[in-house]
Amino acid sequence: MERAINYLYTRPEGKMNILCLVMAAMSMFIYKVYEINCPCLPGYNLAYGLIVIFIPPFIFFFLGFSLNHYCLILSLELSKPQNKRNKKKEVLRFMFKSMVIRSLVAPVLWIIACFLDGKSVICAFSETLDAEQFGGFGNFSSISTELLLAKVPCKNFELLRTSSTRKAIYRFLKSISQGVGFLMVLTLIILAVISRILSSLFNVTRSIHTQYWSIFANMEDQYFEETCLAHNRWMAEKCIHGYFEECENYDVKCSHDDEEKIISPWQMMDYVDHWYLCRPPIVHTYDPLSQS
């Protein structure tokens, strides 16, 4: 359990996987509680159905992409000027690919759920079919065929409640929708298996190197933030002690050596700017391969 918690807190992949699972669960929960109410009006069904199918996935993708841990790291790396350390394009591509793949999980699940459920697809494409191929609406000659086709998704429409044509169109669209949904699931499984096999056969060393440097970049930024936080805490403690020393005559004894080691906030800001503008090169202290 401790190893799992340590993995989630120290590895960026763990945090991204948690975010991915949360977004996927949230998308499925929203789809479950959301009630699809087709307008059942000519000219409106298609727009409503397509909005239900594609707009929420776009929102989930935007949220997943913007909340991803790599988003801030990638934006900072791209905005940094060229300094003493060359930017590793492979690492940047690896981060971007990881962000996109994990951000697509929730949208893809939503689209698959829409096709497997079929309600939004039936609402969107009920007007595109030819009613005569399913028996026609001969008993309702006084009502336009376009209006009757638009009423197909609405089971509570009294005139078509017992219509065999409406039931045939409904079953046809639902079977097509579910077939597309299962085909999407099968396609994703095949693509995942093929990608896994190819990644294990080709460029294994390059993949390991890219993953190593992505973890290194994350840990470097993390420790830099922790160092800045420690300096902020230390500086705040000095200021508070000085305040109480002046106001209540507290005896806060600081040695001469400690006074010389104090780094002012303005000097710390210079260090932060220098870290951003001119990050030092990686120091190689020991190379085990050179000793062999």
> pLDDT by residue for the chain (292 residues), tens digit each?
556 555 555 566 677 778 888 999 999 999 999 998 999 999 899 999 999 999 999 999 999 988 887 787 777 777 776 666 666 777 778 788 888 998 999 999 999 999 999 999 999 999 999 888 888 877 777 788 888 889 999 888 777 777 888 889 999 999 999 999 999 999 999 998 998 788 767 767 777 777 777 777 778 778 888 888 888 888 878 777 766 666 655 444 444 444 445 566 667 677 677 666 666 565 544 444 444 4
Per DSSP, the three-state class of 253 is coil
**Which spans in 81-144 are helix H?**
89-103, 105-117, 119-125
Q: How far apart are CA 6 and CA 2, in angstroms?
A: 6
Q: How far apart are CA 228 and CA 230, in angstroms?
A: 5
Instruction: Tell me the one-letter amino acid at 73.
Output: I
Structure-token pair, residue 236: 């705040």
Please report where in the chains the tokens 């403690």 appear, as a residue.
237
Q: How many CA atoms lie within 13 A of 271 on its CB side?
A: 11
C-alpha closest to that of 233 among 225, 271, 249, 251: 225
| pTM recorded for the entire structure | 0.74
**CB neighbour class for 137 (10 Å; exposed up to 12, middle 13-18, buried from 19):** buried
Angle at 52 between CA 37 and CA 181, to 5 degrees: 105
In this predicted structure, what is the pLDDT of residue 10? 54
Structure-token pair, residue 259: 């006074």
Instruction: Tell me the one-letter amino acid at 69.
Output: H
Termini Cα distance of the chain: 39
C-alpha closest to that of 103 among 72, 73, 58: 58
Q: How far apart are CA 191 and CA 222, in angstroms?
A: 34
Domain boundaries, the chain: 2-202, 206-291
Q: How far apart are CA 264 and CA 227, in angstroms?
A: 14
